Amino acid sequence: MKFFALIILPTDIDPLDTDSVEAAAAEMMRPFNMGEDDTPIENARWDYYWCCTKEWMDQSQLSYSAYAGIPEAQPLVVFPVDQLTAEGITYSVLTPDGDWHRSKATYEKEDPSWEAEALRICRSYGGHFSVLAYCHG
């Protein structure tokens, strides 16, 4: 399964510093990376992930227009969480506290409560930036 996740960054990460954003994302994602950990984690597991770049999104014909406030000089899809709308909600959200939240939707069923829940989680991190990650589980 391929899905997008929002990684809400700690406030001490400079959203214009690509290396810092990627390092923070790697640190936050490490506990959940199945490629390095054979222990199944109930709430999150994948083979790989990467921080989405605007260039990759364009090449893949995927829109990132739902993510307002991306710094022009930043090649990654990094944006202020305060500006997130329902259109930008992804399947999963990882908070700076290390909490992993995800939709209960599957190929066969919807999760009508996820959009409101994801927005509530994101809104509780006002002043933070988030980076869009592409994951393969």
pLDDT in tens, the chain (137 residues): 788 999 999 999 999 999 999 999 999 988 765 544 444 455 545 567 889 999 999 999 999 999 999 999 999 999 999 999 999 999 999 999 999 898 888 778 888 999 999 999 999 999 999 999 998 76
pTM of the model: 0.87
Q: How far apart are CA 33 and CA 56, in angstroms?
A: 22
Q: Which of 103, 106, 100 is nearest to 31 (CA)?
A: 100
Domains identified in the chain, total number:
1
- Residue 46's domain spans which residues? 2-136
- 2-8 and 92-94 strand pairing: parallel
